[in-house]
Structure formats: C-alpha cells, structure tokens
Structure 1
Amino acid sequence: MADRKYTVRPADNQQILAIFARNFKKLFTMKKSILTLLFLISISVGVQAQAAGSPADTAKVYHVIDKMPQYPGGQGALRAFLVLNLHYPVVAEKSGVQGRVVMKFTVSRNGSIRNLSAVDCKITDYDKRVFNRLTADEQMKLKKACAKGFAKEAARVIRLMPKWEPAEADGKKIDVAFSLPVGFNLR
C-alpha cells in the first residue's frame, strides 16, 4: 500500500460553530438522557454497596453480593417510614430551605444499623426573599445550620428503623455499607 499524506490545519471558528450546530441536538438529547438515567438510578435504589466486614473479616472483600440488605417490606416501606417519621428542621422550614443529605451506614449481618454518618448534604433550593435580606456571611451560616439540621434529622430517623434484612454472599450473612439519600422538600 502506498503511504498517504494528510494535511492537518486548524479549524476556523465558523467550522467549529457549524459542527457544534449540527451536533447540538444530539449532544443535548444525550446529556438529558444521561441526567435522567442518573436521577432515576439515584432515587430508585439509592444504594451503593461494598463489603464492610468486621475487623476479623477484613481479609474477605466481596465484589459480588448475592442479596443486598433490604428494609423490611422493601423500598416502598422504607419511603413510607421516612415520610411518616421525618420532621422538617424548624430553621430550614422558616427560611424556606430545601435540601438533600446522603446518609451512609453499615447494615450488619444481624440487620442492625451502625457506623451512621452524613457524607453529603446539599441545599437544593431556598426562599430568595429571606436570603436577600441577609448578608453573605449570614446566608452561609443559615445554609450550614439547615444542612446540619437535615443531617441530624435523617440520622435520628435512621436510628429509629427496625432491623433490616442483612446482605448475603456465598450463602453467609455479611456486613454491607449502604448509602441512603434523604430529601427535604417543602410542598
């Protein structure tokens, strides 16, 4: 075969804009699809699992789990429990602040919950009329107070939960790390 020679020259702005315009709809649709998929995954399961054995079991790391831990009655019962037991933090309610906190904990082999912590807390919306009257420093303090309130309330409710059905791997009950997103929305 004969060697072919190619000339590479930089594209001008019009060429870049033309390519972008041709592909914008595809890019937008793909981005929208990916975001929708990520959102559905996060709310339908809200689970990230990894083996979290006790110190005696640290040599065994499970990459495949036969059965994930489950709240008694399944996802619907878990959502119902959260709705019935969550109390909106007063400071957040008065300020019109909404948010989401991800709680991480271990579901032990006996179904109990331990190692509970808030790993991510985000303010998703707030009442602009309230915040516009505050200084930037006061806004930051209020957001932190609301985030702390969300984390404390989510932890309180998770501690109220009954024992879960534990995870299983290789026919044995195992400890598993579990992440649960908890939303606080004013309606």
Structure 2
Amino acid sequence: MLGLLAASQGHAQTGPNQSAPASPAAPAAINPDSVFVNPEVRPQFVGGDRAFAAYVGKSIRYPQQALNRRISGRVFISFTLSAQGKVQDAHVVSGPGNGLNEEALRLIWTMPPWEPGRVNGQPVRVACTLPIAFNSGR
C-alpha cells in the first residue's frame, strides 16, 4: 500500500590524491531536515497493511455527494512522514473529486503515528504516497 518515490542520495567519493580510510568510518550524521524517498528501512503503519486496511475500513466516511452520483475511484495522497512517524505536509496528488479527495486527505491526517523509516538505524523523514480506494458498490 505504501508507495515510495524513487530517490538518489549522494555518496562521498575519494579523489585520485585521496586514500580511502583503512577501516569503515562511523555512519555520517543525518541532517534532521533531510527527506528520504527510499530509506534503508521503510516506514510502516503499526500492524502492517492489514492494520492500515482495518483503520481505513473503520474510519472512512463515504461522502454523500459521491454516493448519490455513484462515484468510485482512488485518491492518491502524498505526504512526509516525520522521524516520529507523524504525517506532515499532506496533499492530494490525484482523485475523482466529489468529496472523495477531501475524505482521503482527512483519513491521512487522522492516522495514528507510524513506525518511522530508518537510515543507519536512525529514524528519518520519508516522502510517501498512498492510494485510498473508494467503491460506491456499483
């Protein structure tokens, strides 16, 4: 369910006049403002995908406007997950509208904290995109 965007992280290289360290260096400190796209350990909803599906099933409120028009579809929400596992900067990437976009955004903002992503064993901020599916039962 959790789609992470592709990323590249730069790595220091040794030049022709520099020698590589004889022993592995300690992991570099991670800038707390960095946002990772593909961390070593991906963030996870506490309890995994089944728990996320249960949260959505229990919390979703199908908008009356969409029900009346029998509108279904998926809303893609992008957000940053903080190093504490909390949603930040959530916004709709795409969706069918008719109240579904707003409801998907509400679900994301009200989620409980996640297990954060990790790099070098440290929790980090991660850019995430999640689909929220709506089915009017056609």
TM-score by length of 2: 0.74
Shift in alpha-carbon separation, 1:84–1:61, aligned structure 2, 3 A: closer
Cα deviation for residue 172 of structure 1 reads 1.2
Q: Does 1:95 align with 2:69?
A: yes
1:160 aligns to what? Answer: 110
**Hey, what's the Cα distance between the residues in 2 that align with 1:148 and 1:179?**
21
Q: Does 1:180 align with 2:133?
A: no
User: Residue 165 of structure 1: SS of its match in structure 2?
Assistant: coil
2:3 aligns to what? Answer: 47
Shift in alpha-carbon separation, 1:82–1:62, aligned structure 2, 3 A: closer
User: Residue 74 of structure 2: SS of its match in structure 1?
Assistant: strand
Q: 1:72 aligns with which of 33, 38, 46?
A: 46
Q: How many pairs were matched up?
A: 114
Q: Is the 8 A contact 1:49 1:176 kept in 2?
A: no
Unaligned runs of 5+ in 2: 8-30
What RMSD, in angstroms, separates the aligned Cα atoms of the two structures?
A: 2.1
User: Residue 175 of structure 1: SS of its match in structure 2?
Assistant: strand
Pairs within 5 Å for 1:3-18: none
Cα deviation for residue 61 of structure 1 reads 7.1
Unaligned runs of 5+ in 1: 1-44, 123-146
Q: Does 1:109 align with 2:83?
A: yes
**Hey, what's the Cα distance between the residues in 2 that align with 1:156 and 1:70?**
19
Higher helix share: 1
**Hey, what's the Cα distance between the residues in 2 that align with 1:78 and 1:86?**
12
Cα deviation for residue 46 of structure 1 reads 3.7
Q: Which letter does structure 1 place at the counterpart of 2:58?
A: L
Shift in alpha-carbon separation, 1:63–1:181, aligned structure 2, 3 A: closer
Q: Which letter does structure 1 place at the counterpart of 2:45?
A: Y
Shift in alpha-carbon separation, 1:111–1:186, aligned structure 2, 3 A: same
Shift in alpha-carbon separation, 1:175–1:74, aligned structure 2, 3 A: same
Shift in alpha-carbon separation, 1:158–1:64, aligned structure 2, 3 A: closer
Identity %: 32
2:13 aligns to what? Answer: none
Q: Which letter does structure 2 place at the counterpart of 1:47?
A: G
2:28 aligns to what? Answer: none
Shift in alpha-carbon separation, 1:164–1:50, aligned structure 2, 3 A: farther
- Higher-Rg structure is 1
Q: Is the 8 A contact 1:64 1:169 kept in 2?
A: no
**Deviations 1:14-61 (CA, angstroms, capped at 9, x unpaired):** xxxxxxxxxxxxxxxxxxxxxxxxxxxxxxx3411467xxxx556x67
TM-score by length of 1: 0.56
Cα deviation for residue 181 of structure 1 reads 0.3
